[in-house]
Structure 1
Amino acid sequence: MVCVGTSPQERPLVVWIDLATPPQVLFFRPIVAELERRGHSVAITARDFSETVLLLKQFGLEAAVIGWHGGKTLVGKAFAILRRTGGLLAYARAKGFAVAVSHNSYAQALAASVLRLPLVTLMDYEHQPANHVAFRLARRVIVPEVFPADALRRYGVSESKAQRYRGIKEEVYLADFTPDPVLLPGLGIPSAAIVVTVRPPATMATYHRFENPLFDKVVRYLLGKPGVCVVFLPRVPEQGRRLVDEGFPNLVVPRAPLDGPNLIYHSDLVIRGGGTMNREAAVLGTPVYTVYKGRLGAVDRYLLDCGRMSLIACERDISHIVLRKKDGSPQAFGRPGLLAEVVEMILTTTESTLSKRTHHASTV
C-alpha cells in the first residue's frame, strides 16, 4: 500500500549548520537567510575560535557554542575534535534535524554519522588531509566547478555523490555586499594613503604546519614604504603586539574585529598567506597577492591563471609589488543566482533522503 502525503519539497525542515571558523559565518549567513525565507528552520552550532562567536553576534545569528580549537599540535587538534564531537552529539540527539550541513566540520561529520543523520559538506581546498573524514561520511559533497575530479575520487567521492557550483564560494555571500564609506576614516587612515591590508598565514590549520618567513619580509618591506598604511590583522594578539612595540608610524592594528569584506573593498591592496580573504579581494576587485607556502589549491590556481590574484613566491618578487591607489569604479559583486543554486543542492539531498524514508514507511 502506498500512502499519499506531503511531498518532501513542501515540508518545513530543521537544518543543522555547524560553524568552525570566522569565514564560515560569512559564507553561511545568506544561506541561513535563504533557508528561512523558504520556510525552513535553522539551528546553528559554533566552535569558540578566533572571531567566530563575535561575528555571529554581529550578524544577529544565535548559536550554541560548543568546543574550541585544539592548538597547533595534531594531538591537541584530535583531542579537541573528539571532545567537540561528544558535545555535538549531546546537543543534536533529540533535535529532530533533517540534515547536517557544514564547510567540512569534522566534529559534525562524526556526530552526524553516529546519529545516522544525512550530512552535506562543502569544501573548496583539495589538499586538506581531513577531507578523508568529512567526504567519506557525507551524503553529498558540494565543491566549486574547478575542484579536481581526481581529488574527489582520492577521498572516496563518486560522481553521483558530488555536486559542483559555478564560480567560487566567496561569490555566494558577496552578491549582496554593500560598501561602508566610513570604515577607513573610523580607523584614522588618511584618504591619500595607499592602504594595504595584510593577515598572517593560518599556521594553526591542519593544512599549514610550518612558519612563513617570507611573509614577515613582505610586511617589513611595506612598513618601510612612504605613503603606505599597513592594516595588520593578527590571528593571535601576540602578532599585533610585536609589531606595535616596534613603533612603526604607518601601522594600524585594529582593536576590535572589522567587517572583513568592507575593509578589503576599501583597501588598495591585500596581501595574505592564502585563504578566504584573498579570494574575497578577487571578487571585490581589490588587487591581491598571496604568500602562501603550502600547496596551492585549484581555486587559487584558477584566480592566478585569470589574473585576479598574484603570487609572491620568493624574496625577489617583493620588490615587484605594485603600490598605488585602487580605481574606485563601481562594479557588481558575486554571481547572480549562485546562492539559490547552492541552497537547492543542500535541500535536494535532504528531499532525496526523506523520499526514501517516506517510500519505505508507506510500503511496510
Structure 2
Amino acid sequence: MNIWVEALTGKQALLFSFIAKFFMDRGDNVIITCREYDYTARIFFQRGLKPYVLGRYGGGTLLGKIRASLDRQLRMLDIITEKNIDVHISFTSPDSCRVAYGLNIPIINLTDSPHSYIVNKLTIPLSRFLIIPHCIPKKEFSHLISLRNIYTFNGIFEVTWTKNFSPDSRILDELNLDKYRYIVMRTEEKKASYYKHMDSRPTLISIFIDKLISRERGLKIVIFPRYIDQKKYLIKKYGEKIIIPERSVDTQSLAHYSLLVITGGSTFAQEAALQGIPSISYFPYHFYIEEYIAKRGFPLFHYIDIINALKKMLDIISDPFKYHINTTGLLERMESPLELLEKIINQIFIED
C-alpha cells in the first residue's frame, strides 16, 4: 500500500515519523511531505527519513498564508500524481487535504485541536475518517463530519513518542547545562490562525523571563522561539542571559532533565508532563488534552491568565521535587493511535 503523510509542525513530524516507520515495518511504502518551518524537516532527517520539503510557512498575514498554501499545493500535485497513493494521513493540513481530495485519495485526518476553527473547516469535511483522543467530545466536530466517521483512542498523540522514550544525558554537555538547574521555555504560536492577538510584544514569554532573572539567578533559561521576530526580540532584550539552541536538539531529553517547562503552546508541556516533569502552559483557550492529562495525575498546569501562571512558576521553583513524579504506571494505561490507524487503513483497503 502507498501511504502519504504530511507534517506541518515539529509535533506532527515526530508523530508522523513514528507512523511512517510503523507502516514501513509492515511492508508499506510511505511518502512524506512537510514544509520548511521551525524544526519540522530536521526532525524527519534526524530519524533517518527523507521527506519532500515543499514550501514554507506563510507567516502572520492572510495574503502570506494563502500564497504559501497555493505554492505548496502546486508542488505537491506534481509529486503526488506520480505516486499512485492509496490513502493520505494528515494532521489537518489544508494544503495536502485539498490535493488529496482533488485526486480522489481517501483522507484520514488526526487532530486534538477543536479550537482551530479555520483549519478544521478547510480539512475535516474532506475526510473519510477523523481520529481524535477520547477525552475530546465527538460533538466538537459533528458540524464538520458524521459522528460515525469519528474514531477515538484512550490516550493522546504524544504517547506515541513518549511511552518508551529513553532520555540521553549528552544533551546536558551539548548545551553546558546541569541537571535540574535550568528551565525550558517555548514561545506561543502567535501567528497561528486561532491565536488571540492580545499583546503587541512578539512573545509573552518575556514576562516569565523577567521574573526569573530578577529572582532566580542560579537557573539557566533555554528557550525555543517559533518565529524570527520572536528570536530577534529575545536576543536583543536578554542577550547571553538566555540560551537559544541554533540547531535542532533532543527536546525530550532536554525537558527530562529540566526543573520546569513553560510554553505558550501545548505539545511541549504535554511531552514533559508525560515524563513527570512539571509543566506550565499559558495557551489562551480551554484545552481538553491538558485537562485530561492533569486529571490523570501528570504534573501539567494550564493557566489562561498569565499572573496565575507566574505564581505557579514561582511555587514550583520553590519546591520542584514536590512536582517531579514517576509516570511509568500512568503511561502504561494510555494508548497511542497507531493500532487504530492501522485498523482504519485496512478498512479503507477492503472498502475500495
TM-score by length of 2: 0.89
Closer/same/farther in 2, CA of residues 335 and 211 from structure 1, 3 Å limit: farther
- SS of the residue corresponding to residue 270 of structure 1 reads strand
- Structure 2 match to 1:208: 195
- Structure 2 match to 1:338: 335
Out of 19, 37, 49, the position equivalent to 1:31 is 19
Structure 2 letter corresponding to 1:134: T
Partner Cα distance (1:221, 1:15) in 2: 48
Out of 348, 351, 355, the position equivalent to 2:346 is 351
- Structure 1 match to 2:220: 229
Bigger Cα displacement from structure 2, 243-252 vs 84-93: 243-252
Partner Cα distance (2:302, 2:247) in 1: 29
Closer/same/farther in 2, CA of residues 302 and 32 from structure 1, 3 Å limit: same
**Offset of residue 303 of structure 1:** 2.8
How big is each residue's C-alpha offset from its partner over 1:236-260, in whole Å with a ceiling of 9 and x where there is no partner? 3443444344456652222222111
User: Does residue 142 of the first structure (1) align with residue 131 of the second (2)?
Assistant: yes
Partner Cα distance (1:280, 1:344) in 2: 21
Q: Which one has the largest radius of gyration? A: 1
**Unpaired stretches in structure 1, ≥5 consecutive residues:** 1-12, 358-364
Aligned length: 340
Partner Cα distance (2:235, 2:71) in 1: 36
**Offset of residue 143 of structure 1:** 0.3
Partner Cα distance (2:78, 2:198) in 1: 37
- SS of the residue corresponding to residue 50 of structure 1 reads coil
- SS of the residue corresponding to residue 142 of structure 2 reads helix
Out of 260, 282, 285, the position equivalent to 2:273 is 282
- Structure 2 match to 1:133: 122
Closer/same/farther in 2, CA of residues 329 and 319 from structure 1, 3 Å limit: closer
Bigger Cα displacement from structure 2, 62-71 vs 246-255: 246-255
**Offset of residue 142 of structure 1:** 0.3
- SS of the residue corresponding to residue 197 of structure 1 reads strand
Closer/same/farther in 2, CA of residues 347 and 247 from structure 1, 3 Å limit: closer
How big is each residue's C-alpha offset from its partner over 1:209-264, in whole Å with a ceiling of 9 and x where there is no partner? 41556532122111222322111112234434443444566522222221111111
Partner Cα distance (2:266, 2:312) in 1: 22
- Structure 2 match to 1:86: 74
- Structure 2 match to 1:301: 291
Out of 130, 148, 167, the position equivalent to 1:179 is 167
Structure 2 letter corresponding to 1:32: A
- Structure 1 match to 2:148: 160
**Offset of residue 330 of structure 1:** 5.7
**Offset of residue 301 of structure 1:** 2.4
- Structure 1 match to 2:307: 315
**Offset of residue 109 of structure 1:** 0.7
1:105-144 paired onto structure 2 within 5 Å: 105-129=93-117, 130-144=119-133
Contact 2:154–2:334 (Cα < 8 Å) also in 1: no
Contact 1:85–1:111 (Cα < 8 Å) also in 2: yes
How big is each residue's C-alpha offset from its partner over 1:164-187, in whole Å with a ceiling of 9 and x where there is no partner? 011111011212211111212321
Closer/same/farther in 2, CA of residues 34 and 197 from structure 1, 3 Å limit: same
Bigger Cα displacement from structure 2, 58-67 vs 347-356: 347-356
User: Does residue 63 of the first structure (1) align with residue 54 of the second (2)?
Assistant: no
Contact 1:228–1:250 (Cα < 8 Å) also in 2: no
Closer/same/farther in 2, CA of residues 78 and 240 from structure 1, 3 Å limit: closer
Structure 1 letter corresponding to 2:124: F
Partner Cα distance (1:27, 1:198) in 2: 21
Structure 2 letter corresponding to 1:311: H
- SS of the residue corresponding to residue 147 of structure 2 reads coil
TM-score by length of 1: 0.86
Q: Percent identity?
A: 24
Larger RCO (CA within 8 A; separation ≥ 6): 1
How big is each residue's C-alpha offset from its partner over 1:272-326, in whole Å with a ceiling of 9 and x where there is no partner? 1122101111111110111122x22211222344453113424255234220454
